[in-house]
Amino acid sequence: MAKVLMKGNEAIGAAAIKAGCKYFFGYPITPQNEIPEYMSRELPKVGGVFLQAESEVAAINMVYGAAGCGVRVMTSSSSPGIALKQEGISYIAGAELPCVIVNISRGGPGLGSIQPAQSDYYQSTRGGGNGDYFHPVYAPASIQESVDLMQEAFDVADRYRTPVMVLGDGMIGQMMEPVEFFEREAEKTEKPWATNGTKGKRKPNIINSLFIDPQALEDHNHRLEEKFELMKKNEVRVETFNLEDAEVVCVAYGTTARIVKNAIEICKNEGIQVGLIRPITLWPFPEAAFEEVSDKTKAYLSVEMSMGQMIDDVKIAVAGERPVEFYGRSGGMIPTPEGVVGKIKSILGRE
């Protein structure tokens, strides 16, 4: 298929339909409105269902119901709406159902702003709802990558029976780039657990996250833990760049990583070697990539569109072996390559 120029949000919708998603439940919120708008237009054409829910709370619970029926289903929202969905996401993780949640995030806390931000790192990667759970979080840095990761997200959701989040900052949702949709068969997964009527042929299927017996819940949590470990082993995605000679290694995800690449280019021209670790999965976090860093590296720099959230994971990965510095802008302010360069120079004591 030839490349087409598409807005991020619409490309995400198109990719979901290509991945076999036929059900969408959502509630309007800027800057992700083009996703439900696209789905309301396109899903009926493929025999699917778009339904605007009365709230994000209802939308994620509709997703819970549909996911329990064994179909590919998704919702999308932005930061305050994702906060409302956390109860449902916890239930979906507990009941082990597959679904995809897209978060085109904006600034916070509270109503915050409608401008791009990355201040949802905690609520995305820490299991924003109650209980011991994690789910994969993909952080695309371009529209092409958003499209590719949507397919991946649905496959991984089915394979592990888990909610999967695709986290794009507002820039991903709103900008236009040429994209190509690669034809790729959706992974087929049997779903014998789905509720579709017993037909008198099997015992009732029950979708549930309640384990009232403490031992039963601990056993369930151990089973979930095994699954999380398996995902940590198999599903980490990361891009590394210029690690061999780097004096400073930046860590950045999403569109911030693109800004950092520009900063790295400026540094190179001034004779400063800077590397990049770009987590594509924020959970599982690419800890192993930090082992590729050479003895030449003096420090890490976490660059984020937030007041500093991913830096916690960077510190865990670095485990005190080197200093971890931070550079961030928040509230919808975008970091500039020059700002990043300035921080790198100050770390190296080269003003």
The verdict on 45 binding another protein (CB under 8 A) reads no
Note whether 89 and 129 are within 8 A (CB).
Answer: yes
Binding another protein (rule: CB under 8 A), the pick from 37, 65, 84, 342 is 65
Which of 16, 181, 28 has the alpha carbon at shortest distance from 100?
Answer: 16
The owner of tokens 């209802």 is 58
Across 238-274, b (16+ Cβ under 10 Å) vs e yields: bebbbbeebbbbbbbbbbbbebbbebbeebeeeebbb
Q: How far is the CB of 168 from another protein (least distance, A)?
A: 24
Enumerate residues 6+ apart whose C-beta is below 8 A from 109. Answer: 119
Binding another protein (rule: CB under 8 A), the pick from 6, 10, 34, 91 is 91
Report the 10 Å Cβ neighbour count for 300. Answer: 26
The verdict on 58 binding another protein (CB under 8 A) reads yes
Binding another protein (rule: CB under 8 A), the pick from 27, 64, 134, 181 is 64
The verdict on 53 binding another protein (CB under 8 A) reads yes
The verdict on 49 binding another protein (CB under 8 A) reads yes
28/323 with CB nearer another protein:
28
Binding mask 283-322 for another protein (x = CB under 8 A): ----------------------------------------
Task: With contacts defined by CB under 8 A, name the span among 55-63, 112-120, 143-151, 279-287 that binds another protein.
Answer: 55-63
Q: What is the CA 350 to chain-centroid distance, rounded?
A: 36
Cis-peptide into 109, omega within 30 deg: yes
Cis-peptide into 204, omega within 30 deg: no
Task: With contacts defined by CB under 8 A, name the span among 46-54, 110-118, 137-145, 291-299 that binds another protein.
Answer: 46-54
Note whether 75 and 102 are within 8 A (CB).
Answer: yes
Number of residues engaging another protein in binding (CB under 8 A): 38
Binding mask 178-217 for another protein (x = CB under 8 A): -----------------xxxxxx---xxxxxxx-------
Q: Determine whether 209 is exposed, middle or buried from the number of CB atoms within 10 Å of its CB (0-12, 13-18, 19+).
A: middle
Instruction: Show contacts with another protein in window 13-42 (CB under 8 A).
Output: 23, 25
The verdict on 47 binding another protein (CB under 8 A) reads no
The verdict on 84 binding another protein (CB under 8 A) reads no
Q: Given the rule CB under 8 A, which residues bind another protein?
A: 23, 25, 49, 51, 53-55, 57-59, 61-69, 71, 73, 87-88, 91, 95, 195-200, 204-210
